Structures are given as structure tokens and as C-alpha cells.
Amino acid sequence: MIEFVNVSKVYKTGTHALNNFNVSIDRGEFVFVVGPSGAGKSTFIKLLMSEEKPSSGEIYVNGQNLVRLKRRKIPYFRRTLGVVFQDFRLIPNMTVYDNVAFALRVTNVPSKEIRSRVPYILSLVGLSNKAKSLPEHLSGGEQQRVALARALVNNPSLIIADEPTGNIDPELSFEIVDLLSEINKCGTTIVMVTHEHDLVSEFNHRVITIDHGTLVSDDWNGGYR
């Protein structure tokens, strides 16, 4: 599913973001990625999404060698991913339904399938009664669930969650991770970047710790319990 082989990333500024980084994540795993600010977590995510290329090494995601992936094929590769960001990135003048449906429309999914798929996904995240609401009328937790629904609607094999609880109340953070855990039980691979160690300790998932661009630990709960 995911394999980083001797990956290093040096930016033009001279910053060494990752150094000889090696990690493998199997299909169906739930993995937390933790580490201090500037550790290399964001670079790891950018490389996963093919937003950046490594300076050296090989990266394999969903059967694709991202180092050799041609630029024109990157949008097609990203359709195999679901991505949830900290800042939600909802379209403010679109309803909940249309925000989720938009992810299907841009890939030319037939209208009949959209009308079937979107209500089902909204029911999964507990937002059936908010389908006609605009983002401004939702709580932070509800907005993040819309973002999660949008990530899910294309039935991706991998969901990348980049600090998905960073902009919501602490009591709602557990709810979001619990929802991701339920999605994981259905076979979807989850990679979640977070700085919330208290949250990590509540779930029995694998934890990868990055510091100064190096993998410093790889364990279940990372010793947080």
C-alpha cells in the first residue's frame, strides 16, 4: 500500500526535511503520524500525495511508483486517495450535499450514481439532516464530518488525514477519530497526522514518530499509554 525506501527530501532552502526515511504501511492499517513541529510530518504527507518529489529514494503508494509518476498522471493517482485537512476546505456557497457531490462531479460520475452515493455517505457520518445546510451554519465538528464525507465519497483505498482535529473542540476530536476507526474497520487504510498525544493514547493503533526528518519510533500507541 505505502512504502518509503531510503527517502530523503532536501528543499532549495537547504532544509533537510526527511533523512533516509524508511517505512511500510500495509493495506487496511490505521497509522498515526506524530512528532514535534518541523519534524518532517508535512513533508511526509506532501510526498504521499505527490505534491513533492523526494531528493532521493523510492516511494510506492497504491501500486504506483511516485518518483516515476508523470505529471499528467498525478490527478488520476490522487483520485485513489481521500484527503481530510485541518481547515476543512469546504466551498462556502455550496450546501453540505453539493460539497460532497462536487468530489464526484469533477470526475464525471453519472448523476444517478451521485444521487445514490451522496445520501449514503452523509448517513455514514451522521449528517443526513444537514444535507441542505451551508457550511457557515455548521459547527466545527460538523464541518469536519462534511470534509470526511467528501474524502470518502469516491470510495478511496487510502485516506490521508492531516491534523483533522486541529480546528475542532477537544471533545469532538475523539468523535472524528472514532469515525475514522470505524471506516478503517471496513478495510480503508488511514494515515492520520496529529500532535494530540492524549488522543493517540485513546486508540489502539500503530504510531509512527518522526523527529528531525528521521523515523525515531514505530510501535502500537508509541508508548503513550
Q: Quick one: pLDDT at residue 221?
A: 65
Enumerate domains of the chain plus CATH numbers.
1-80+157-225 (3.40.50.300), 90-155 (no CATH)
Which segments of the chain have a pLDDT < 70?
221-225
Q: Quick one: pLDDT at residue 175?
A: 87
What is the biggest distance separating any 2 CA atoms in the chain, rounded to whole angstroms? Answer: 51
Q: Quick one: pLDDT at residue 167?
A: 79
What are the start-end ranges of the E strands in the chain? 2-10, 16-25, 30-34, 56-61, 64-65, 81-84, 158-162, 189-193, 206-211, 214-220
